[in-house]
């Protein structure tokens, strides 16, 4: 998508064919299984399938033009690389123009191979960037623990899995054993990441601490 672009409901805009718009979105969502770079943009455009307007069709066509110019871009899975489970998390605070909810995004790697990724709008409205990032990290932690359980069945055991985020405040909340008064408004179900940090199952790190090859 164009950097800094915002998509809203555009109730006064010119309507486009619903079946055509939904068909284009469906094709893009099918392609997301191998192209994580279009996931956020596609999921954002998919929110307006009920009443699509020309303002919504334009970014969808832009995604197709991007794909046309990057047909050789894909995922590479070499066999002789590491197999450490790591994850990255991010969030756009109040990015949705309709309800001001935040979109969480995370991706998991086995070594340097991406194996799982997601982009999903949060259920609650975050009142701060720290809360938005913290909720995103909690969602990422849930996916990491699910992957660790399944990988254990294949003989791979992971402890203290690294989760990288770009919010020092979110990391402070996840490592603080005391429930601070400023975090009481955050839904209880998101605080399970604190328990897993204390148990040593996961370890929250800033992206600046990421080890570069």
pTM, full prediction: 0.82
Tokens encoding 149: 């359980």
**Measured between alpha carbons, how far is 18 from 24 in angstroms, rounded to an integer?**
10
Query: Where in the chain are the domains?
Result: 18-69, 85-209
Least confident window among 27-36, 78-87, 165-174, 203-212 = 203-212
Least confident window among 76-85, 87-96, 105-114, 184-193 = 184-193
pLDDT at 62 over 90: yes
In terms of C-beta distances under 8 Å and separation of at least 24 residues, what long-range contacts does 6-13 make, across chains too? 6/97, 7/44, 7/45, 7/48, 7/55, 7/56, 7/59, 7/97, 8/55, 8/97, 8/98, 9/48, 9/51, 9/97, 9/98, 10/53, 10/55, 10/56, 11/51, 13/53, 13/54, 13/55
Distances (CA, A) of 213 to 53, 76, 87, 88, 111: 45, 16, 16, 17, 11
pLDDT value of residue 212: 45
pLDDT at 201 over 50: yes
Residue with the larger pLDDT of the pair 165 and 82: 165
Confidence grade of residue 68 (pLDDT, cut at 50, 70, 90): very high
The pLDDT tens digits for 21-56 are: 999 999 999 999 999 999 999 999 999 999 999 999
pLDDT value of residue 118: 94
pLDDT value of residue 181: 57
CATH of segment(s) 85-209: 3.30.420.10
Report the run of H or E that residue 30 belongs to, with start and end: helix 18-31
pLDDT value of residue 60: 96
Give the residue-averaged pLDDT of 56-74.
94
Confidence grade of residue 182 (pLDDT, cut at 50, 70, 90): low
Q: What percent of the chain has pLDDT over 90?
A: 54
pLDDT value of residue 9: 84
Spatial neighbors of 31 by CB under 8 A, at least 6 apart, are: 38, 67
pLDDT value of residue 178: 58
Distances (CA, A) of 76 to 30, 195, 213: 19, 35, 16
Taken as a whole, the chain contains a residue count of 213
**Measured between alpha carbons, how far is 72 from 160 in angstroms, rounded to an integer?**
36
């Amino acid at each position: 998508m164009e950097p800094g672009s915002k998509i809203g409901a555009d109730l006064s805009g010119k309507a486009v064919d619903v079946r055509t718009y939904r068909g284009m979105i469906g094709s893009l969502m099918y392609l997301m299984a191998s192209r994580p770079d279009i996931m956020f943009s596609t999921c954002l455009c998919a929110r307006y399938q009920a009443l699509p307007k020309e303002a919504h069709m334009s970014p969808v066509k832009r995604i197709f033009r991007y794909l046309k110019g990057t047909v050789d871009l894909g995922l590479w899975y070499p066999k002789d690389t590491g197999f450490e489970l790591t994850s990255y998390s991010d969030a756009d605070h109040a990015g949705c123009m309709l309800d001001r909810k935040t979109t969480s995004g995370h991706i998991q790697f086995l070594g340097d191979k991406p194996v799982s990724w997601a982009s999903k709008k949060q259920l609650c409205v975050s009142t701060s960037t720290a809360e938005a990032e913290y909720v995103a990290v909690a969602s990422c932690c849930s996916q990491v623990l699910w992957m660790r359980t399944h990988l254990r069945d294949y003989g791979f055991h992971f402890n203290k899995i690294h989760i990288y985020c770009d919010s020092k405040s979110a990391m402070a909340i996840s490592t603080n054993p005391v429930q601070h008064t400023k975090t009481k408004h955050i839904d209880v179900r998101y605080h399970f990441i604190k328990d897993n940090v204390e148990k040593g199952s996961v370890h929250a790190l800033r992206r600046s601490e990421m080890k570069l090859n």
